[in-house]
Amino acid sequence: MHKNNKFHSWVLLIVCASILHLGSSICLYALGPGTTGIPFLKIAPGARAVGMGEAFVALADDATALYWNPGALTQIEGVQIAYMHNFWFQNISYDYIGYVQGFRNSEGERFGISIAMLNIGEIQRTLEDASGNYAGTGNTFNSYDLAVALSYAWKMRENIGIGTSLKFIRSTIDDVDGYTVSADLGFLWVLTSKLSIGVNAQNSILPIAIRYYRGNTAVSASHSLPMNIKAGAAYKFNNKLTLGLDVNVPIDNRLNVHIGAEYWYENFAVRAGYKTDFIQDIDILSGLSVGMGFKWKNYQVDYAFVPYGDLGSTHRVSLLAKF
């Protein structure tokens, strides 16, 4: 037992040192907004989490933990399936599905798979003449992004979980394709029955830059992935009220803070949150989010509303099933 505890302590130390190193690297080599590739990786799944202002890294107690914090998968019991459809602005749609279950012969291990897809829909082709001048429009073409993630989590101790998600990513626009891989490293520490702390290094492990090709011909430079260190805490006052706080250190933007709350009255929930991402980029009201939820037996339906200023408003609807 003593050897196991010593091993766990060393693993925990290495994980914390790695995350701190990644955080310092992101701060040192930070890029400007809009300078990374595959930005759809930053779209948050789960209407429940979004309704709470995306302050979910330390709570993450449903199948969307595959995105928020793979280390938090260790607190999920049984089998869970989550699906979300995002009515994004400008008629763009985003869909997410996640599946989590434990290993048959191990109570401290979990695995899962998730699929996220952004569909931009049909885009009108713009034509130009030999001199590069505008020459009207042609037919339409499609564009979409896809990410498939395989996740694994291990309960180091009764109150400490660590997990990782390996992502396979494809980005397509017309006849141009780009492929890459990345990985997340997550950590959850449940200090008490009320307080938990979480950290997730998103797209920060194996962040292979993406480059687009038409056939075998490169048509773009390499683009860095949207690396981000997410750290936060969640506090459950009782079975009704939960507060969450996340701090993000992204490679392509300034440090930002997310706060949120969830209140349950019997089978109904109301949620509200705020994030500081868009205070200067869009407007102060665009950081607001609100949501609601309803659960019946082993099923739950959630909704979230988030405005994005002149870009429009977004609506997310999620379904969660537990078995």
Beta strand segments in 206-240, E = 212-214, 217-218, 228-236
The answer to whether 229 and 213 have CB atoms below 8 angstroms apart is no
Q: What is the DSSP string of 3-64?
A: HHHHHHHHHHHHHHHHHHHHHHHHHHTPPPTT-SS-GGGGSPP-HHHHHTTT--TTT--STT
Comparing 252 with 60, which gets the higher pLDDT?
Answer: 60
Task: Collapse the DSSP code of 285 into the 3-class scheme (helix H, G, I; strand E, B; otherwise coil) and give the result.
Answer: helix
Helix, strand, coil: what percent of the chain each, to 5?
15, 55, 30
Q: What per-residue confidence (pLDDT) applies to 287?
A: 81
Place of tokens 């969660």: 320
Measuring CA to CA, which residue among 246, 298, 310, 309 is closest to residue 319?
Answer: 298
Place of tokens 């400008």: 90
Question: For all residues of the chain together, what is the average pLDDT?
Answer: 87
Q: Does the pLDDT of residue 28 top 60, yes or no? A: no
Q: How many Å is the Cα radius of gyration of the chain?
A: 20
- Per DSSP bridges, beta strands 176-190 and 212-214 are antiparallel
Give, in order, the Cα–Cα distances in Å from 278 to each of 22, 60, 208, 254, 263: 24, 24, 27, 10, 25
As given in the structure block, the two tokens for residue 4 are 């196991």
Bridge partners of 171, per DSSP, are 145, 178
Contacts of 1 (CB under 8 A, 6+ apart): none
Return the DSSP state at 259.
E
Return the DSSP state at 159.
T
Rounded CA-CA distance 40/93 in Å is 11
CATH of domain 2-322: 2.40.160.60
pLDDT tens digits for 118-149?
998 787 788 887 777 877 787 888 889 999 99
Q: What per-residue confidence (pLDDT) applies to 25?
A: 52
pLDDT tens digits for 272-306?
999 987 655 556 667 899 999 999 999 999 999 99
Say how many CA atoms lie within 13 Å of 302 toward its Cβ.
30
Q: What per-residue confidence (pLDDT) applies to 1?
A: 45
Per-domain boundaries in the chain: 2-322
Q: What per-residue confidence (pLDDT) applies to 6?
A: 55
Residue 157 pLDDT class (50, 70, 90 cuts) = confident
The answer to whether 61 and 74 have CB atoms below 8 angstroms apart is no
10 Å Cβ neighbour count for 239? 7
Residue 213 pLDDT class (50, 70, 90 cuts) = very high
Sequence letter at residue 320: L
Return the DSSP state at 208.
P
Comparing 253 with 209, which gets the higher pLDDT?
Answer: 209
Rounded CA-CA distance 260/276 in Å is 12
- Taking the complete model, does pTM exceed 0.75, yes or no? yes
Measuring CA to CA, which residue among 225, 235, 232 is closest to residue 257?
Answer: 232
Q: What per-residue confidence (pLDDT) applies to 43?
A: 93
User: Percent of the chain having pLDDT more than 90?
Assistant: 60
Beta strand segments in the chain, E = 80-87, 93-103, 106-128, 134-157, 160-173, 176-190, 195-205, 212-214, 217-218, 228-236, 241-250, 256-265, 268-275, 288-296, 299-307, 313-322
